[in-house]
Structure 1
Amino acid sequence: MDGRNLYSRRFFLKTAGFFSALAAIPSSVKSLYYDARRLIIPAKQKSKLNLIINKTSHKLEVDTRTTLLDLLREDLHLTGTKKGCDHGQCGACTVHINGERQLSCLTLAVTLPGKEVTTIEGLANGEELHPMQAAFIECDGFQCGYCTPGQIMSAIGCVNEGHTGSVAEIKEFMSGNLCRCGAYNGIVESIQKVAHETVHI
């Protein structure tokens, strides 16, 4: 017997059985299910939002459940900010909100009215790279590059916060940013270079 025919028959029987069982469920039970579903899953709500992103003002209307990460990537097409774990554990989505580093995957966009967001796309001044971007290139602070935007944003925060007194301190305050390639030595060296050259960037 042809294995593909056997598979398609199984699929047909399973599908037919599922819909038969569904049809046999009383309408009163189905009604209870849909009522419970409406209580558990709130209806989509939209909210107006004014944001300054990379020094550009945006007037938006967003779903109240939308994260800043999804707003940046899906709505504004600023895909430099990366979606890694989507649970706040890898740091790939790090951005600056009012100058402080934040995880955009854990930040609801509607909580940020009037605030200023800076992403990796907003660091360079035209063709002139930000000092941290230049340092990452010079010190080989990346390999595959996927985590690099978040690493750079967090590294700038690390310097601005004054947590560059030692290698151990830098590692501690960069521990929320994971690099699966293991480019940590280059990342630390980049931070040390920028911290040495300037007090505040």
Structure 2
Amino acid sequence: MGQLDKEFIKDLMEVTEKELTPKQAKIVQAAIEIFSEKGFAATSTSEIAKRAGVAEGTIFRHYKTKKDLLISIVLPVISKFAVPFFAEKFLNEVFHDENLEDIEGLLKILIKNRFEFVKSNAPLIKILLQEMAYHSEIRESFKTVFVTKVLPKFQAAVEHFQKQNQIADFPAATVLRLTMTTIIGFLVTRFIIMPDYPWDDEKEIEYTIQFVRNGLKEI
């Protein structure tokens, strides 16, 4: 796997607060590749072991079940990437007062930041989206992040722009739904559904900004 995936292994060790053994790192790398390619249900531990170059029993010395291996990969995507990065570092950057003068500027920062995040972590995002519908642990973790971390910050930004009459008087949760559905749809299409299409990324970002901006305008 490439450098970006090695960075994820490094971050995974920070989340778990323990160093992965070389064999365990190979298991995680192989699982990310195959879960992304085939999905969790269609992947066997023997396939993971073969690609990792380890005995199948080695997997079960580190993870009780295949699902434990999945959760060990996916939850850090939410908790380490999504909580500190998305809800703290990212939102502090995006919703800093100097960025709140114009909603288009805010949307540009928001989309470009998420663009680079998904570009760097597309296999992990694919696994997260694929498996969220089937595993309550993943859904609940994702829900907690958005309800407790993202929505309050987003609500403050929405109220700020509504006072300036830049966006319509929609409930904050509705603005979040409309905005994130459009942005996530763009990113999923760009990096997961049609990654090889000859996109003009700068233009697509601008089109997305204008689409969201026009949809939120005061009527």
The TM tier, using the shorter chain, reads under 0.3
**Bigger CA radius of gyration:** 1
Task: Give the structure-2-normalised TM-score.
Answer: 0.25
Q: Which protein has the bigger helix share?
A: 2
Q: Which protein has the bigger strand share?
A: 1
The one of the two structures with greater contact order (alpha-carbon pairs below 8 A, sep at least 6) is 2
